[in-house]
Structure 1
Amino acid sequence: MALTSSNMIALGTPAPSFSLLDVVSGGAKTDVEVFGEQGTVVMFICNHCPYVLYVNPELCRVAHDYQKQGIGFVAISANDAEQYPQDGPVAMKAHAAEQGYPFPYLYDEQQDVARAYQAACTPDIYVFDSDRALYYRGQLDASRPGQSEPLSGKDLRSALDALLAGIPPPERQYPSAGCNIKWK
C-alpha cells in the first residue's frame, strides 16, 4: 500500500453537505445531524488500512474527550467495496463495534462525498468550526506505525483546543498520511 498524503485544501473552505448510510444504525445520517455546536471533526478512514488501525485507539480517545465540549465527530469510508470487500457496510458495522467507535461510521458508496472533501488518504482528518468553515486539516500527530514517536493525537488536540478557545487556526498544519482511498 503506497503512502499517500492528504490534500491541504484552503482553510475557510465550507464543509460540503452529505447524506450517507450509517452502517451501525442502517439509516441515513446527514451532515446537519452529525455536526457539533462548537465544531466538527470529519475523518475519512477504512477498516483495513494499517495507518487507520494504528490510530483508531487515539481517534476514539480524542472523540471521547471533545464530544462533551460540543465537538461533533463522524467517520466516513469511501473505499470501493467491490474491490475491497473488507471495507463494505457489513464489515464496517462489525469493525465499528469492535473498535468501540463513539461516532457515526458512514459509507460513501458513490465516493461523491470523499471527492467533495478532496480526501486522498486514510486517515484524512478535517476540523470545521461552528460556521462550517475549515479550521484544520492534517495529521492526528507525527506518529506512524513502526516509528518511535508515541501516539498522542497532539496535532488534532492542539487544533481543537485552539478552536474551542476562539483563537485563529494553527499556522503550521501538516498533512495526514496513510493508504490512498480506493477509488472505483
Structure 2
Amino acid sequence: MTYAELLDAFEGAHSEVFRLEVQQSYAGVPDPGWEAWKAGRSLPTRTADTDEWLAKTAAKIAAGVRWIRVIVVDWPLDEYLRYALAAYEAHVAVGEKVYVVDRDVDPALASLVDDFWMIDEEFVAIMRFDAEHRPVGPAAPQGPVDKFIARRDLVLANASSLSEWVADHREQLSA
C-alpha cells in the first residue's frame, strides 16, 4: 500500500474517517510543534486557514464526514504524548472528535499494537513505524475489516473526549 492510496481513500471518504493511535511516541515524525514544545516555546498556531491537513479535515467534516481519532495511552506518559494531547486541540477546533483512553481500563486494550486508519468501514491502512518512531508507510491489513471495526468499537466504548480526559487527569498531567 502507498501513501497515495491512503490519500485517495481520504478524498473519497463519505461517512467516517477513523484513526487509532496506540504508539506512545511519534517523536520521529518531523513536526515543528514538537520542536517548539521540547524547547519550551508556545505551540505554533494551527487552524484550517494555516494548515493544509486541518483544512482538508474541516472540509470533509463540513461535507458530513465524521472524523474520529482515539489515542490509547500508557502511564507514565511519554513526553511526546503530552505534547500531542495539547496539539490535538487544533484538530478539535475544526470539528474532529478526539478521544483518549487509558490502556489499563480494559484488558482487551492490551492487545492493540497497530495504529490504523479506517475509512467508511471499508478501507483500512495499518501505519508502520521504525524503532525511532519514524513513519515507514502504510500497509494493507491482515484479515477482514470487521476486526478493525471491533477495535474501533472497543476503544470508543472505553474512551473519553479529549477535554474530559484532560480534566480528569489534570493532576497527573501536571506532575
Q: Taking structure 1 as the reference length, what is the TM-score of the superposition?
A: 0.38
The structure having more radius of gyration, on CA atoms, is 2
Q: Taking structure 2 as the reference length, what is the TM-score of the superposition?
A: 0.40
